[in-house]
Amino acid sequence: MVKAVVLGAAGGIGQPLSLLLKCNPLITELGLYDIVNTPGVAADLSHIATPAKVEGLLPPDDGLKKVLTGAQVVVIPAGVPRKPGVNDLFKINAGIVEGLATGIATTAPKAFVLVISNPVNSTVPIVAEVFKKHNVFDPKRLFGVTTLDVVRASTFVAEILGDLSKASDVVVPVVGGHSGVTIVPLLSQSSHSLPSGFSDEKLDALVNRIQFGGDEVVKAKDGAGSATLSMAYAGAEFAVKVIQALNGKKGIIAPSFVSLTIDGGEALKKEIGADLEFFSAPVELGPEGVVKINSLGKLTDKEKKLVAAAIPDLTNNIQTGIAFTKKSN
């Protein structure tokens, strides 16, 4: 019996993500919340012949509180995406995420919170600060969703191998954060080796494509926003892993942007040579959330440089999130 809730459920990501969650038999209750259109989205999804009972709520009449009551997993794709004229997502999304986090902290403080809203490197620290303010912060239950970077890495490697049928088997850890150079693909640890003779230039181009995959979609959508369908796929994939672990499945490991106060965080800080508060690393999931943050493993010199190059942006992004919550208090 799992109740999952999507905050921002009527949006470009929210709708297909809610569809994928409705299709998952592990979910028995699905709560949808947005400032618009959730009754319609919920009515539509409720006709699908799967177990989840669907409810769609809006802000009036305590909709946020109602939808969050009893929630075990809350996924947040609420907020504006990149589009022409909207470049500073933080300006708008920080306040949206802060408001939603306050709702979760007061109504479902034990829920696992999966943050999709950008910029993830800053919105996750915002949720942490809001939870701290309400004395309910459990770092093991807060996740920045970086799965789209992992999904892209699998797909792009399979394309290079000339066999897309392998895409879902290819596993490439992607660590760091979720924007530009903070996205660090560890291609040397790919489950499927790149072709022999794959040149340094080609490797650099592949790293760059994974780091800036979001730009490809923004450009192709030509003013209509950023990745929604691939993000919904990635968000559902990560949410289902969290739910499987919650239900007792062991051995699930996936990268996520998490607090380095969790077990393994201190060792990771030494590995990356930086005293960061958050970092995306492979984490082991369990019924109480993150069991432990795993080591990044053996890195090539190139990968060490990529990690080092990610640190300044990560430091800034994290501090920007924390400073926002301090200012708005």
Which positions from 176 through 195 interact with ligand LMR, judged by CB under 6 A? Answer: none
Q: Does 182 bind ligand NAD (CB under 6 A)?
A: no
Which positions from 62 through 121 interact with ligand LMR, judged by CB under 6 A? Answer: 81-82, 118
Which positions from 108 through 147 interact with ligand NAD, judged by CB under 6 A? Answer: 116-118, 120, 145
Q: Does 67 bind ligand NAD (CB under 6 A)?
A: no
- d(CA 79, CA 82) in angstroms, rounded, equals 10
Q: Does 178 bind ligand NAD (CB under 6 A)?
A: yes
Query: Can you tell me which residue has the tokens 């040149």?
Result: 199
Segment near ligand NAD (CB under 6 A), from 168-176, 188-196, 224-232, 243-251?
Answer: 224-232
Q: Which stretches of 40-173 are assigned E, i.e. beta strand?
A: 53-57, 73-76, 112-115, 142-144
- d(CA 119, CA 125) in angstroms, rounded, equals 10
Which positions from 271 through 310 interact with ligand LMR, judged by CB under 6 A? Answer: none
Contact present, 134 and 109 (Cβ < 8 Å): yes
Six-digit token pair at 87? 């470049």
- d(CA 102, CA 320) in angstroms, rounded, equals 18
Q: Does 272 bind ligand NAD (CB under 6 A)?
A: no
Please say if 178 is a catalytic residue: yes
* Torsion from C-alpha of 249, 254, 260, 263, nearest 10 degrees: 30
Question: Residues marked as binding for NAD(+)?
Answer: 8-14, 34, 93, 116-118, 231
- d(CA 242, CA 285) in angstroms, rounded, equals 7
Segment near ligand NAD (CB under 6 A), from 2-10, 128-136, 271-279, 313-321?
Answer: 2-10
- d(CA 224, CA 83) in angstroms, rounded, equals 7
Query: Can you tell me which residue has the tokens 């993500």?
Result: 17
- d(CA 305, CA 324) in angstroms, rounded, equals 30
Segment near ligand LMR (CB under 6 A), from 29-37, 163-171, 213-221, 286-294?
Answer: 213-221
Beta strand 3-7 with 174-176: parallel, antiparallel or unpaired?
unpaired
Of 231, 246, 262, 306, the one binding ligand NAD by CB under 6 A: 231
- d(CA 113, CA 251) in angstroms, rounded, equals 20
- Residue facing ligand LMR at closest CB distance: 214
For CA atoms 27, 20, 34, 72, give the dihedral sign.
positive
Buried b / exposed e along 247-283 (16+ C-beta atoms within 10 A): eeeeeeebbbbbbbebebbeebbebbebebbbbbbbb
Q: Does 99 bind ligand NAD (CB under 6 A)?
A: yes
Six-digit token pair at 217? 């979609």
Of 10, 108, 227, 242, the one binding ligand LMR by CB under 6 A: 227
Q: Does 39 bind ligand NAD (CB under 6 A)?
A: no
Q: Does 226 bind ligand LMR (CB under 6 A)?
A: yes
Of 11, 125, 139, 176, the one binding ligand NAD by CB under 6 A: 11
CB of 175 to ligand LMR, least distance (A): 15
Of 2, 4, 6, 7, the one binding ligand NAD by CB under 6 A: 7
- Residue 8 interacting entry, from ligand NAD, ligand LMR, none, C-beta within 5 to 8 Å by type: ligand NAD
Residues that are catalytic: 178
**Residue ranges binding ligand LMR (CB under 6 A):** 81-82, 118, 148, 213-214, 217-218, 226-227
**Residue ranges binding ligand NAD (CB under 6 A):** 7-8, 10-14, 33-36, 77-81, 89, 93, 96, 99-100, 116-118, 120, 145, 148, 178, 225-228, 231
